[in-house]
Structure 1
Amino acid sequence: MQVPITEETLNSLTTEQCNTNTSNIDELSELQILQIMNDEDKTVPFAVEKQLPVIASLVSDVVTSFRNGGRLFYIGAGTSGRLGVLDASECPPTFGVPRTMVQGLIAGGKEALVRSIENAEDDYQEGVRELQALHFSKKDVLVGITASGQAPYVIGAMEYAKNLGAVVGAISCNAKSQTFAAAQHAIFLDVGPEVITGSTRLKSGTAQKLVLNMITTASMIRIGKVYRNLMVDLTPVNKKLVERSKRLIKQATACSYEEASTAFEASGRRPKLAIVMILLGVDAETARSLESQSSGPISEMIRLYHSKQSAENDT
């Protein structure tokens, strides 16, 4: 339900309060300004830490969605929307996933990524229309991102997703965030008043970015996009990433550069498959077969191979 934003509403929001620690910031030197900003930023990770159990619960649902063919959507306005789009756009090259698997929606569309379109967040139905155009369903996950928690564009989309039966999360920096009413997972980042009153691109934005990093990174780890701490499913789309692929193959298998290069090419430039090929001494076809029979992790593929070998030996 859309609730009008009034002066009384704004007065009750933490993000709209004046920060007593920075009340004379306009009289400080450059270094003093930076020091006080740095001091305020130091509080952000602690605010995130308090929400780790909620974030973990959301990640668990995202993993379940991914394994069932679902997608993760971020939706936000202004800085929050841009952060969601940024996190989503970095998933394909980092983890080798389809561009549709994690998507970011921002009030005002692509133009809002580079130019402020502040009134776009007031359209309660636009977020709903965008989800419908993307065939959002109950097997998908929607995470609303809004520092104040009052953007109608975000709230409308979240309520639509909730009514469909989808998992809905909310990331907000106000305890009275309207987004929490539609969220199964309410992530309240209590970063306090901003250095500059109401400028939520500062501590609020930093906190949101940390949480978004956690959601996608932890989810990708859980579905097997990481082996040890190596991003083995990266997409080598340029020379740097090609060399990084060979390097991580070496790190994962302790092989030579030449062996890594050979396996990399034989695998169809799939670092993950190349690692399995070297670790198990199998060809690309066998590695692909193991991948298709597993849920993704290299460790599972290795166990599956040894289990088959053991069964064959017993017969």
Structure 2
Amino acid sequence: MTQSQLPGTERISEAHRDLDTLPTADIVTALLEDQARGAQAALEAAAALTRAAEEIAARLARGGRLLYAGAGTSGRLAQLDAAELPPTFSWPTERAVALLAGGREAMWEAREGAEDDAEQGAADLLALDPGPNDALLAIAASGTTPYALGALHAAKQVGTLAVGIANNPGTPLLAGADIAILLNTGPEVISGSTRLKAGTAQKIALNTLSSSVMVRLGKVYGNLMVDLKATNAKLRARAVRLVQAATGHGESESAAALEACGWQVSAATVMLLRGVSAEEARARLEASGGHVRAALE
């Protein structure tokens, strides 16, 4: 197979054939400049990311889950995205589930052969009993990884929204998805090492997608993350600053409101802005589906 016939992520970068002969500063510069191209690839996928965010938010608003499936770097990035939603947005852990080829142990120790098992990808997804209110993000730089494809096909069979994220155009993962997100990053500085800009583009896309969904679900007021979990001293201090920023009240008043509301930023915000009790603030939030702006109105 010629270079032109290979997927973009597998081609050899002609611009970096002499990489090992360069001074360290030039190696660093080459890698950094290429990473910027990963960010550009994610930006070029804005329309597809927008559609996915809207479709996913609609399903999650009906009680669904955000599911992920991937192998290797893609799967580890999926695990990271899922793990960050609970502390950042108080999103229930059971409603952000990432499947990694080879199991959780593959997060720390590479199990490259596990990615070749499409049946296991399907079985792992179906074990979660997915339905039409759930959404799956199937991620693979190559766009051909059997594990991710197996999960994608299983999702479609049960009516789960199937979103495919890949770094090569015209691949089975994108062709088979309900929504295809192409992150066209091309050859890597270190040929074939998709943990580089392909992974960077995936991380940006996942951050953007899940954060956009959380904004649509009311987990943000203005640009303040009013549903974070204040589980340590640093986060409690952040919670106080967030309430101050949201309400214009001082530090002591904000801290007292948070204490009354069990350190729930959204409730403390409603409590102070509407001059109601903690109980009334929580009731307003419950009635509004957790949206601070709606609770205030």
TM-score (norm 2): 0.97
Residues 282 and 192 from structure 1, CA distance in 2 versus in 1: closer, same or farther, beyond 3 angstroms?
Answer: same
Residue of structure 1 aligned with 2:146, choices 152, 160, 178: 152
RMSD of aligned Cα (Å): 1.4
- Give 1:185-224 correspondences, 5 Å limit: 185-224=179-218
Residue of structure 2 aligned with 1:65, choices 53, 59, 68: 59
For residue 296 of structure 1, report the CA deviation from its aligned partner: 2.5
Aligned to 1:306: none
- What are the Cα deviations for residues 270-314 of structure 1, in whole angstroms up to 9, with x where unaligned? 1110000000000011111111111322111111xxxxxxxxxxx
For residue 146 of structure 1, report the CA deviation from its aligned partner: 0.4
Q: Tell me whether 1:267 sits opposite 2:257 in the alignment.
A: no
- Give 1:163-178 correspondences, 5 Å limit: 163-178=157-172
For residue 8 of structure 1, report the CA deviation from its aligned partner: 8.2
Look up the SS of the partner of 1:219 in the other structure: helix
- Give 1:241-256 correspondences, 5 Å limit: 241-256=235-250
Amino acid at match of 2:224: L
d(CA) in 2 for partners of 1:36, 1:42: 10
Aligned to 1:281: 275
For residue 163 of structure 1, report the CA deviation from its aligned partner: 1.4
Q: Which has the larger radius of gyration?
A: 1
Q: Tell me whether 1:103 sits opposite 2:97 in the alignment.
A: yes
Are the counterparts in 2 of residues 80 and 208 from structure 1 also a CA contact under 8 Å?
Answer: yes
Aligned to 2:116: 122
Look up the SS of the partner of 1:144 in the other structure: strand
Q: Which runs of 5+ in 2 are unaligned?
A: none
- Give 1:228-243 correspondences, 5 Å limit: 228-243=222-237
- What are the Cα deviations for residues 26-68 of structure 1, in whole angstroms up to 9, with x where unaligned? 1101001011111212222221121101100000011001100
Aligned to 2:70: 76
Are the counterparts in 1 of residues 102 and 115 from structure 2 also a CA contact under 8 Å?
Answer: yes
Look up the SS of the partner of 1:169 in the other structure: strand
Amino acid at match of 1:272: S
Look up the SS of the partner of 1:100 in the other structure: helix
Aligned to 1:21: 15
- What are the Cα deviations for residues 63-83 of structure 1, in whole angstroms up to 9, with x where unaligned? 001100000111100000000
d(CA) in 2 for partners of 1:300, 1:37: 46
Q: Which runs of 4+ in 1 moved over 6 A?
A: 7-10
Residue of structure 1 aligned with 2:82, choices 83, 88, 93: 88
Look up the SS of the partner of 1:97 in the other structure: coil
Look up the SS of the partner of 2:130 in the other structure: coil
Count residues with an aligned counterpart: 297
Amino acid at match of 1:176: G
Amino acid at match of 1:172: A
Are the counterparts in 1 of residues 126 and 154 from structure 2 also a CA contact under 8 Å?
Answer: no
- What are the Cα deviations for residues 125-180 of structure 1, in whole angstroms up to 9, with x where unaligned? 11222122222112100011100011111101100101112211111011132101
Residue of structure 1 aligned with 2:290, choices 264, 276, 296: 296
Are the counterparts in 2 of residues 138 and 161 from structure 1 also a CA contact under 8 Å?
Answer: no
Are the counterparts in 2 of residues 10 and 16 from structure 1 also a CA contact under 8 Å?
Answer: no
Look up the SS of the partner of 1:104 in the other structure: strand
For residue 110 of structure 1, report the CA deviation from its aligned partner: 0.8
Look up the SS of the partner of 1:142 in the other structure: strand
Are the counterparts in 1 of residues 3 and 11 from structure 2 also a CA contact under 8 Å?
Answer: no
Percent identical among aligned pairs is 40
